Amino acid sequence: MSRKLDEKRKDILENEIGTVFKNKGLTPVSVALIYPNTYYVGQSNLGFQTIYGILNKRLDVRCERAFIPEEEDEKELKRINQHLFSLESGQLLKEFDFLAFSISFELDYVNVIKILDLAGIPVFSEDRDDQYPLIIAGGPCMTFNPEPLADILDLVIIGEGEEVINELFDLYSSHLTGDLVINRDKFLLEAAKIPGVYVPKFYQEQYDEGGKYLGTKPVVEGVPEKITRRWIKNLDDFPTRSVILTPNTEFGNMFLIEVSRGCGRHCRFCMAGYCYRPPRVRSLKSILKQVEEGKEHRDRIGLMGAAISDYPWIDELCKELNANNLSVSVASFRVDSVTPTLLKTLVAGGLRTLTVAPEAGSERLRKVINKGISEEDIMKASCIALQEGMEQIRYYLMIGLPTETEGDLQEIVNLIEKVNKHAKQFRKGGFRKISLSVNPFIPKPFTPFQWEAMDYRVNLEKKIKWLKQHLNKYKNLEISAESPRLTVIQGLLARGDRKLSKVLVSAYRAGGNLTAWKKALGEEGLDFDFYLYRQRTKEEIFPWDHLDWGVDKEYLWEERLKAEKKEFTPSCLPNSCRRCGVCGKEEGN
Ligand code: SF4
Ligand code: SF4
């Protein structure tokens, strides 16, 4: 390894607390856990850290980490003709038994290809034999639709990994012979029988004579027709908090603790709301135990979860944190459930910008998406923000939502005008800064909008331009918008099928821009229209229908119809409700 790269590796490690170093000779199984983005991004991901902790607790496994190298490091690797290596020991990735990817974003799929290329490992599973590691993956994106990576991955974890990862490695260890070799196919066949484990090569896409997709079905005996999503019944059994601390990451100054998982609010566009059902919370006692550990290392606690303000004991938790002189940050909160105690705690902890996610400018469209936030809530939030001394506010809004009209866009402009006027009642000059973050809507699998067509890129670009023009007069307003070009690629991968594995590799190798994607799709006889801009009928069979999330497809369709009628769906009631199927079936079904 070059001295420069080795010094950088050691420098990263020197800044970490909690790193696990194991002796190569003492553990029969080695895993390189990979976040397909930079160290700075990946090291703040709690799911990634949790799996690192669980695997290294095992006596039979040595788990090390790897990330996408910085640009200059990638150049150096290529210059010295060296393959990518792990962080802890500098071992080449291709020498591990497993490469385990933790994938949270569709746009990181290309980084999976990049890492395999940099590691000197053939990208497609059919080109790899026993001399290469098994390539496995998990994380939110793999749970909702792993198909675009199906020809690349050997095995996928569907759902939450805490329990299934141990079952998988117990099985692997039981298959190891005395001289540490394994019959891979035998292992994979047994693994595919573990609930939550998907081995793509044991399934194939089926088409009728006219080329119509009929579903993805097992092609070997003994594997299940549908792969069940795994989820943890009792979060307290698996404390989820920072395992490795380092200043060199996004949330480097905090000790992160997961407070809750899932969200019961039923926003119809939100993959996170469906992916982690049912909503679950940790006990206050369990969180406080983790706080005790965290305060040894950091004086700031980052509370993680979909909507922290919905946590039932949030005030008690804040009081305890305040009593311990710990400052607090939260991943996100809802304006309609934020308590004065939580807000005061956050302000005392340095919060200077209130973030609100109305998602749509008009009341009508917020009803379509079941956002459950009224204009009154939005105004109340701005009033609270200013009363608490926050002079900045940030709004998250989406464009291209189903049924959106020009009137809905105009309502965004009206909303900003109203907020500005309203704010002047509380502070001379109103907000010092209003940030508007505009994100194009992407239909996601396992949501009521999985049947929807996505808005055309040119339309999205026009809408962003229109908003910028019409909001230009507000000097305190700053608009940032997600690039519709990237949105198109993200949308393609979100609802993609197995044919996209080849497209993904070709597009990446051709530079990864939109032209490269178009060309790569064309080479396979495919196009964006089919994946993105097509309104699906109720009968559509999706490339992810062989995954069983527990949510009834019929329920999702009913939610879609309710969206058309702007009907409200109330929050989850996990102890009594059987609506969507995740918490059990309704009597008689
Ligand atoms: S409040 Fe809505 S958008 Fe936010 S996490 Fe919950 S379901 Fe998703
Ligand atoms: S069954 Fe009810 S409580 Fe359970 S996840 Fe579905 S909607 Fe929520």
**Is 498 or 340 the better-scoring residue by pLDDT?**
498
Q: Ligand 1: does its nearest atom lie under 6 Å from the Cβ of 272?
A: yes
Could you tell me the distance, in angstroms and rounded to a whole number, from the CA of residue 392 to the centre of ligand 1? 22
Q: Ligand 1: does its nearest atom lie under 6 Å from the Cβ of 275?
A: no
**For range 377-398, the mean pLDDT:** 87
**What is the rounded end-to-end Cα distance, in angstroms, of the chain?**
61
- The CA-based dihedral angle spanning residues 408, 411, 412, 413, taken in that order and rounded to the nearest 10 degrees: 130
Predicted confidence at residue 587, as pLDDT, reads: 63
Counting ligands in written order, the one closest to the CA of 581 is: 2
219-223, 425-429, 580-584: which has the minimum mean pLDDT?
A: 425-429
Tens digits of residue pLDDT in 107-118: 999 999 999 999
Average pLDDT for the chain: 94
Q: Ligand 2: does its nearest atom lie under 6 Å from the Cβ of 264?
A: yes
Band (pLDDT 50/70/90 cuts) for residue 147 is: very high
Predicted confidence at residue 388, as pLDDT, reads: 82
Q: Going by C-beta distance under 8 Å and a sequence separation of 6 or more, which residues neighbour residue 328?
A: 300, 301, 302, 303, 318, 321, 345, 346, 349
Tens digits of residue pLDDT in 298-323: 999 999 998 888 899 999 999 999 99
Could you tell me the distance, in angstroms and rounded to a whole number, from the CA of residue 542 to the centre of ligand 1? 24
Could you tell me the distance, in angstroms and rounded to a whole number, from the CA of residue 526 to the centre of ligand 1? 33
Q: Going by C-beta distance under 8 Å and a sequence separation of 6 or more, which residues neighbour residue 103?
A: 36, 109, 112, 137, 138, 139, 140, 141, 142, 149
Could you tell me the distance, in angstroms and rounded to a whole number, from the CA of residue 235 to the centre of ligand 2? 17
Q: Compute φ and ψ for 101, nearest 5 degrees.
A: -90, 135
Identify the bridge partners of residue 425 per DSSP, sorted by sequence position: none
DSSP 69: P
Is residue 335's pLDDT more than 90? no
Please name each of the domains of the chain with its CATH number: 3-228 (no CATH), 352-496+499-542 (3.30.750.200)
Is residue 176's pLDDT more than 70? yes
Are the beta carbons of 261 and 276 closer than 8 angstroms? Answer: yes
Could you tell me the distance, in angstroms and rounded to a whole number, from the CA of residue 349 to the centre of ligand 2? 34
**d(C-alpha 141, C-alpha 102), whole Å:** 9
Q: Is the ipTM of this complex over 0.85?
A: yes
**For range 448-453, the mean pLDDT:** 98
Closest approach atom of ligand 1 to CA 270: 8
Amino acid residing at 239: P
Band (pLDDT 50/70/90 cuts) for residue 588 is: low
Closest approach atom of ligand 2 to CA 580: 6
| Beta strand pairing call for 98-102 and 29-35 | parallel
Nearest CA to ligand 1 atom 1: 265
Q: What tokens appear for 455 in the block?
A: 């808005």
Are the beta carbons of 74 and 45 closer than 8 angstroms? Answer: no
Could you tell me the distance, in angstroms and rounded to a whole number, from the CA of residue 571 to the centre of ligand 2? 8
Nearest CA to ligand 2 atom 5: 278
**d(C-alpha 47, C-alpha 240), whole Å:** 8
**For range 86-99, the mean pLDDT:** 98
Residue from 310, 583, 586, 589 to probe ligand 2 pocket by mutation (most atoms less than 8 Å from CB):
583
195-219 CB burial, b ≥16 within 10 A, e <16: ebbbbbbbbebeeeeeeebeebebe
**For range 530-537, the mean pLDDT:** 97
Is residue 589's pLDDT more than 70? no
Is residue 163's pLDDT more than 70? yes
Closest approach atom of ligand 2 to CA 578: 1
